[in-house]
Structure 1
Amino acid sequence: MDALQVDEWYSRVRRAAPWKDLPRRVFDATLDMLSGRYPSGDFSAFRPKLVWNRETGILTARPGAQLLAVTSGGTIPDRGMYSVLLPEGEEKAGSRRVGELDEEMVYESRVNDIITLGATSWRIQQITRDQVIVTPAPGRSARLPFWRGEGNGRPAELGEMIGDFLHLLADGAFFSGTIPPWLAEENTIANIQGLIEEQRNATGIVPGSRHLVLERCRDEIGDWRIILHSPYGRRVHEPWALAIAGRIHALWGADASVVASDDGIVARIPDTDGKLPDAAIFLFEPEKLLQIVREAVGSSALFAARFRECAARALLMPGRTPGHRTPLWQQRLRASQLLEIAQGYPDFPVILETLRECLQDVYDLPALERLMRRLNGGEIQISDVTTTTPSPFATSLLFGYVAEFMYQSDAPLAERRASVLSLDSELLRNLLGQVDPGELLDPQVIRQVEEELQRLAPGRRAKGEEGLFDLLRELGPMTVEDLAQRHTGSSEEVASYLENLLAVKRIFPAMISGQERLACMDDAARLRDALGVRLPESLPEIYLHRVSYPLRDLFLRYLRAHALVTAEQLAHEFSLGIAIVEEQLQQLREQGLVMNLQQDIWVSDEVFRRLRLRSLQAAREATRPVAATTYARLLLERQGVLPATDGSPALFASTSPGVYEGVDGVMRVIEQLAGVGLPASLWESQILPARVRDYSSEMLDELLATGAVIWSGQKKLGEDDGLVALHLQEYAAESFTPAEADQANRSALQQAIVAVLADGGAWFAQQISQRIRDKIGESVDLSALQEALWALVWQGVITSDIWAPLRALTRSSSNARTSTRRSHRARRGRPVYAQPVSPRVSYNTPNLAGRWSLLQVEPLNDTERMLALAENMLDRYGIISRQAVIAENIPGGFPSMQTLCRSMEDSGRIMRGRFVEGLGGAQFAERLTIDRLRDLATQATQTRHYTPVALSANDPANVWGNLLPWPAHPATLVPTRRAGALVVVSGGKLLLYLAQGGKKMLVWQEKEELLAPEVFHALTTALRREPRLRFTLTEVNDLPVRQTPMFTLLREAGFSSSPQGLDWG
């Protein structure tokens, strides 16, 4: 490209009509931007495109500038459209092009989706970087595409004419004169007159150019919708809406969600007991209104969108590869980062151009000013009205209003639930604590990043003369030796390049910290003002202007060019006192630009993010997932079913290694399984005995009686069982989920019980009955009381202070099922229950034993609750995975838990990776757990004999059918996790499954491994925990049990032979 003379080029540019009045200051500012003379070092990531010799006034292009100018989008903004094409060779004649699709539409589409373009249905065959390949799919049901484009808006002059026309229609004068042919049809006239009359009936007046209407109506949740009917067009309404949104936020402290259209403005105001919102919120002084708009437009979505387009035209956002589009979301992200920097410099050319474009090209501020003067002067009236339902004119406005916000909530149900759970990031940081960030970084990664930032890594060294200049611009002043070390050329070539740069005064020599270094000319004022560097004479005046924060710029650049930095290092680099350095670092830390790691280690926030991401990636790559059986074995150890004989002591620091003992052991099991709903019949028959070797029912009774433990019902299972959870009283808020039952659906007796217990205390069933009788003056049927109490139990509303009612329920259901009879003397509106009808029910029945009370637990906030759930899951399962979250039925699902886990990962509490095969891609675990998995995986290659253990199939320590799928088996029996079903596991491998009812059995392993007697002894040990259990085993792997090798071994283990097979009990 040829060089240009700046003054000559300025004259040539002004010969074009749009730039006839272009100020020289704006012209020079644009050239400053293109030549890399930015107002702050924060712009260092944006490379210059031109070289501007200030002495000669010559502009020359840097390498790559011509290609950038040719391949960039130019003045036509990239709206993020994908071309829709036929496959190569499929076109019959003409072009392959079918049409275009919006980027957001493409992101919501998948291969094989059927879409409609024109009058034809198309099947999506392939989605590439910037194209959608389709094939015809005639006659198929298809989705309609959408385009979220921009509208130019109605001109104010046309809007006023439409408003005048509405007045004519409302007055009836239009139809009394000559009617145009296109309106003369009888049905057309009737429809128009009907619409006008409906609007008049709804609002009292038809809005038009001389009379605006402010309509108020309630929305679906009781807030106020404020609808201003105005015909003046979007170009007038949008800036007006900005000011209205600011006023509503100032008055009510809420986001008004204001939306403007050609036909008016819609806003939402929260319900209030004060004065109803009226027309006053829409009226402003004209001069004040324009000032508000100018100040508010910078934070609007319009400004951000137009800034992206202006920055692209200014070549500040080049694509990576010519001929390939950059996804719109990446453009938005990069533009938002540039905007965040540029907003601090209002004279930045792209900021000025964006403001001009918004305020002149998009908004019609003169028309808005005229409208406001006419409103304040009374020439245009504005009246307000309250309606019960939106008026006919408001209907179309509200349709557009809903469409504006529809995609903000277009998420699956789980994600919508997650959005309701607000995680307080500051509180979360306090709860998680702060692990030393330096411990999170991989030393090898630190070395690699340092070499990359310092341009010492292979492929990162500079090339050519402009590459040397970029080194000085990006890394700061350096010696000739340092420059040569970072350049691909020879020493002679480097010397020649530097000589040329010195000759054209793009760089200059400077004495810094006793060393002679070379610096780029843009640093002259910074070095002089920050370090007192003596500058060469005859430097161009433009480089001598004072810089706002010279030392800050030098420190930030140095920190961004190094991985880790100490205060002493900075002090030596710039010959400054340590106190000055530490004070400046603290200021940067308060601004959120740098971080202080352990002791005196400092790092730029940008560099830390890179180091942290690389370190996490390195840690994940270093871990290979272990087999599912290894995780199954870990869970048995973790939940105290098997002793961790070869385990890491640190993993079980809070418990004794091996199986638990005594009341303390029961307490530990309840702590680990707190909140897990399991069948009541399993807690004392399988769950607790499998973990506490000397378990007896007195242990659980003792904990309940002392109040250390409470239980809560979750769901009824048949007539004699139900899901029950145990909680530590002190930490019940972390595991207990409050009942969400609809109180309106509770019976009168259930409501009476809740009212009695709400007075406080715990009461025996007889006392509850007496207190209800005292309130209503009638006796209560005892069987009805029992039924109502248990209904409230399964709603999670009440509990008893002993386990006896649950023992009685699971042993026999006959005493629990009784009939009720409503008294004929019941008063109107107050049901009264008669005397007991069955002698089998008494206050001494075990089903009513103990003192009953409300389950009242002070709830935690969302952040504390989610953190507690995460910590409980880590304790229980070792790994938080999608399957574990589904099993636990966590509010918000896995997306909500994943958000919290990432925060825990950032704080160093846990790591993310793929630790277990088959457990999904996103897994979170503590480092000690990961280490233990590795230990167990190593042991699996060395040891062949493991202790078999039998568990309930429902046991949380059994991963199969819950966290991991059941191993494949050719038999017809499909294993399920049901109460009564048992599994036998050895070394994490599933050996045996006994179905509910005991009739059928599956075995997985080879004969020689399975035929160990201890496998069946483990099974019979679990069966003996239920003394009343009786069943006959008839089939093993779809074969009669007598025809299998297991027949003899099962007999030896305790089964007895019968004609049908093997009997137990």
Structure 2
Amino acid sequence: MAKEATEKKIDKIQIPCNCLDVLAQQLYGCAIQQRWNAEQLYELVKKSYCYHNLSREDFFSVLSYLAGEYALEAKNVYAKIWYDPTTKELGKRGRLARMIYMTNIGTIPEESFVNVLLAAGQEKIGVIDEAFLERLKPGDVFVLGGNKYEFLYTRGMNAYVKPSIYRPPTIPSWFSEMLPLSFDLALEISRFRKLLAEKFETKKSEKEIKDFITEFLGVEKATSEAIFNYFKMQHNYSKIPHEKRLLIEHYVETGYGEKPKHFVILHSLYGRRVNDALSRALAYLVARFGGRDIEIGINDNGFFLASLNDMQVIRALKFLNEKNIEAVLEEAIERTEVFKRRFRHCATRSLMILRSYKGKSKSVGKQQLKSGFLLGAVQKLDNNFPILRETRREILQDLMDIEAAKQVLEWIAEGKIKIEEIYSSVPSPFALNLIMQGYADLLKIEDKIAFLKRMYEAIREKTK
């Protein structure tokens, strides 16, 4: 990152396009201002870069929603504009239109902490961040206040759990506000990895490699020494993954219950957003092939899938490609917490849910309850309802990076990235941090240091 900054390189800017919830706000505002001809309004909207390739179908589906054509009055979602399909004219509906618009517009969603309650007894044991809840699925085990709990279900802003004594955590420590590594920068790091891998594989001298690191990255000798030792240990252990080599590491962990736990670690240095997309798609396919839930752990450098049973990851990877990953992900996210929460955000932006009405505000908890009822209703009504499609777009394009994930799969299909597998009895140096994420909250600082020393010695012994 320091090298890229020194060379004045910046990441590509990604501007969200065709956001249908924001479009609903804008169309409502236009209708309040004056009467419009729908065709003229469509041409006006397309002059914005954010909507320059907006399809007529999307535009008129949002108009239909605002005009009340989806018959959601039973769920207290009323028409906000009138639209005459014969003359193609539209305008505001209701005397309170301006008040509703001015007190409910905005794009930043309201978020809150989620109460964690024991399902038996309703005892509150703490709170978690709403964004953390998005990663949970029923059966996942996480750490709260030094204790392990199994996630069961949610009701509004309450998450219900039960104590988990024997099962280890399946959800890594939360990333808080840490920004994900960008795809562009990740590719640059992968290229650096390849250069170092070539030097190790061609048996260049230690001095030559250290000098290269110092000059290439512009770092001090101490930093160069640390980078050299880290890469040397990975090279001696197995292989260094890089832009042309996707390393898949198989590791079996024992010591928890009767059955060993199987880990499949993909050293995919593409950034957290891309790894989120790839991991969810592969986990969904592996679960379909094997009929079991799959645990996922991700970071910027890769991700792992874990299960008590054998996993057909290679079969899933061969099935997944740039053409079908979007459809696979849409199925994978449909019944998840992230979909429920993001639907609430989109429903609020599109004014399906009013945060404020006649001076009364609706809490985030009540908004979430309302969105749950609305989500069930519109899914039964029309799976292509515009706000449902916007929820999918937001998750795949804003939360994840579906386009970059497609690019990676295309490179694999074209043979530009080779897949290589290794089997290990101890996690490789590059995999250790990823595996440790799930246990970080359980270990005291002293225990963590001792654990890392033991793992270091085990790896060093294996690389002699």
TM-score range, shorter chain: 0.5 to 0.7
State the AA in 1 paired with 2:53. D
1:52·1:60 contact (CA, 8 Å) conserved in 2?
A: no
1:52 counterpart = 2:83:
yes
1:667 maps to none
1:31 to 63, 68, 83: 63
Q: How does 1:442-453 map to 2 (within 5 A)?
A: none
2:268 maps to 230
1:216 maps to 250
Shift of 1:372: 2.1
Q: Distance in 1 between matches of 2:441 and 2:378?
A: 28
Shift of 1:231: 0.6
State the AA in 2 paired with 1:374. W
1:311·1:317 contact (CA, 8 Å) conserved in 2?
A: yes
State the AA in 2 paired with 1:28. F
Change (3 A) 1:105 1:339: closer
2:404 maps to 367
Structure 1 residues 240-279: Cα deviation after superposition (integer angstroms, max 9, x where no partner): 222211222123221102233321111112245xxx7564
Structure 1 residues 750-775: Cα deviation after superposition (integer angstroms, max 9, x where no partner): xxxxxxxxxxxxxxxxxxxxxxxxxx
1:161 to 182, 188, 191: 188
State the AA in 2 paired with 1:304. K
Shift of 1:151: 6.1
2:50 to 12, 18, 21: 18
1:194 counterpart = 2:226:
no
Q: Distance in 1 between matches of 2:217 and 2:304?
A: 32
Q: How does 1:581-592 map to 2 (within 5 A)?
A: none
2:298 maps to 260
1:51·1:62 contact (CA, 8 Å) conserved in 2?
A: no
Change (3 A) 1:54 1:162: same
2:397·2:403 contact (CA, 8 Å) conserved in 1?
A: no
Q: How does 1:325-724 map to 2 (within 5 A)?
A: 326-344=362-380, 345-401=382-438
Q: Distance in 1 between matches of 2:442 and 2:390?
A: 29
Change (3 A) 1:226 1:73: farther
Using structure 2 for the length normalisation, give the TM-score.
0.64
SS at match of 1:76: coil
State the AA in 2 paired with 1:155. S
1:309 counterpart = 2:345:
yes
Q: How does 1:664-813 map to 2 (within 5 A)?
A: none
Structure 1 residues 998-1038: Cα deviation after superposition (integer angstroms, max 9, x where no partner): xxxxxxxxxxxxxxxxxxxxxxxxxxxxxxxxxxxxxxxxx
1:251 maps to 289
Shift of 1:301: 3.9
2:66·2:81 contact (CA, 8 Å) conserved in 1?
A: yes
Q: Distance in 2 between matches of 1:33 and 1:58?
A: 13
State the AA in 2 paired with 1:346. N
Shift of 1:152: 5.8
SS at match of 1:215: strand
SS at match of 1:177: helix
Larger radius of gyration: 1
Change (3 A) 1:159 1:284: farther
1:279·1:384 contact (CA, 8 Å) conserved in 2?
A: no
Shift of 1:403: 7.2
1:199·1:391 contact (CA, 8 Å) conserved in 2?
A: yes
Shift of 1:224: 0.6
Q: Distance in 2 between matches of 1:404 and 1:46?
A: 43
Change (3 A) 1:209 1:404: farther
1:477 maps to none
Shift of 1:16: 2.0
Q: Distance in 1 between matches of 2:127 and 2:101?
A: 25
Q: What is the percentage of aligned positions where both structures have the same residue?
A: 25
State the AA in 2 paired with 1:350. I
Shift of 1:324: 7.4
2:290·2:312 contact (CA, 8 Å) conserved in 1?
A: no
SS at match of 1:266: strand
2:214 maps to 179
1:460 maps to none
1:205 maps to 239
1:105·1:147 contact (CA, 8 Å) conserved in 2?
A: no
Shift of 1:159: 1.6
SS at match of 2:284: helix
Structure 1 residues 494-549: Cα deviation after superposition (integer angstroms, max 9, x where no partner): xxxxxxxxxxxxxxxxxxxxxxxxxxxxxxxxxxxxxxxxxxxxxxxxxxxxxxxx
Shift of 1:18: 1.8
Shift of 1:312: 1.0
1:50·1:60 contact (CA, 8 Å) conserved in 2?
A: yes
Q: Distance in 1 between matches of 2:358 and 2:189?
A: 48
Change (3 A) 1:41 1:238: same
1:296 counterpart = 2:332:
yes
Q: Distance in 2 between matches of 1:299 and 1:372?
A: 25
2:248·2:420 contact (CA, 8 Å) conserved in 1?
A: yes
Change (3 A) 1:12 1:363: same
Q: Distance in 2 between matches of 1:369 and 1:404?
A: 34
1:869 maps to none
Q: Distance in 2 between matches of 1:81 and 1:6?
A: 44
2:72·2:78 contact (CA, 8 Å) conserved in 1?
A: no
State the AA in 2 paired with 1:29. S
State the AA in 2 paired with 1:189. S
Larger relative CO (CA 8 A, sep 6+): 1 or 2?
2
Q: Distance in 2 between matches of 1:308 and 1:384?
A: 41
State the AA in 1 paired with 2:355. G
1:75 maps to 107
State the AA in 1 paired with 2:252. R
State the AA in 1 paired with 2:194. H
State the AA in 2 paired with 1:356. R
Q: Distance in 1 between matches of 2:112 and 2:309?
A: 39
Shift of 1:325: 6.2
1:252·1:270 contact (CA, 8 Å) conserved in 2?
A: no
SS at match of 1:78: coil
Shift of 1:71: 1.8
Q: How does 1:916-1065 map to 2 (within 5 A)?
A: none
Change (3 A) 1:59 1:149: farther
Q: Distance in 1 between matches of 2:290 and 2:279?
A: 16
Q: Distance in 2 between matches of 1:166 and 1:323?
A: 58
Structure 1 residues 687-730: Cα deviation after superposition (integer angstroms, max 9, x where no partner): xxxxxxxxxxxxxxxxxxxxxxxxxxxxxxxxxxxxxxxxxxxx
2:79·2:93 contact (CA, 8 Å) conserved in 1?
A: no
SS at match of 1:71: helix
Q: Distance in 1 between matches of 2:361 and 2:127?
A: 12
Change (3 A) 1:374 1:51: closer
Using structure 1 for the length normalisation, give the TM-score.
0.30
State the AA in 1 paired with 2:57. R
Shift of 1:169: 3.0
Shift of 1:223: 1.2
SS at match of 1:48: coil
Change (3 A) 1:348 1:280: closer
1:159·1:232 contact (CA, 8 Å) conserved in 2?
A: yes
Q: Distance in 2 between matches of 1:367 and 1:234?
A: 11
